[in-house]
Amino acid sequence: MTVRSLTALDTVGASTRSRWTATHAVVSDLRASPKASCPVIDDHPPSVARALNIVWIIVTIVACSTLIAPSVFPEDLILAASAKVQGAGHVPNSCMLCGMTRAFIGLARGDFLTAQAMNRGAIPLAIAITMNALLAAFISTRWYFARRKPSLS
């Protein structure tokens, strides 16, 4: 190795050390003060955060309704209303959502084997939707009570 390449390696090493030191200092500061602000989140106006929360709640409601609908409505009605994606050249099971409607109907009946046979991702997706709904309910309730003014009566 030449002197020039050693100097370049030393510069890279110093740069990496300084980045690590700066990152370590930021993490230490965040640990030291529990009320530390996050520059990524705090740079956005509150209206953007509120809009994202509203969109998240709407998407959660729509996703939960796909899980609840097979329990409430008859199977024939759901199958008639669901999209038919069997055009010319359609290969069965080529789409990750193929069979998801029938799988959710199977889940609503408690038939986990049919749901697994129709679409292997149905059970993990149902769990993810349920966990998302629980998280959204928790955060929404917490947000509601944090903003509610106590009554003086």
- Which of 61, 95, 98, 96 has its CA nearest to residue 82? 98
Q: Please measure the distance between the N-terminal and C-terminal CA atoms of the chain and give it in whole angstroms.
A: 81
Mean pLDDT of all residues belonging to the chain: 74
High-pLDDT (> 90) share of the chain, %: 29
* Mean pLDDT, range 10-33, rounded to an integer: 50
Place of tokens 């740079």: 43
Residue ranges in 33-121 assigned as alpha helix (H): 39-42, 46-72, 75-81, 100-109, 112-118
Query: In the prediction, which pLDDT does 89 show?
Result: 59
Res 21: pLDDT: 53
pTM of full prediction above 0.75: no
What value does the mean pLDDT take over residues 6-22? 49
pLDDT at 131 over 90: yes
The model's confidence at residue 1, banded by pLDDT at 50, 70 and 90, is very low
In 3D, which of 134, 113, 133, 126 has the Cα closest to residue 70? 126
Q: Above 80 in pLDDT, residue 118?
A: yes
Which pLDDT score, from 0 to 100, does residue 140 have? 83
Identity of residue 122: A
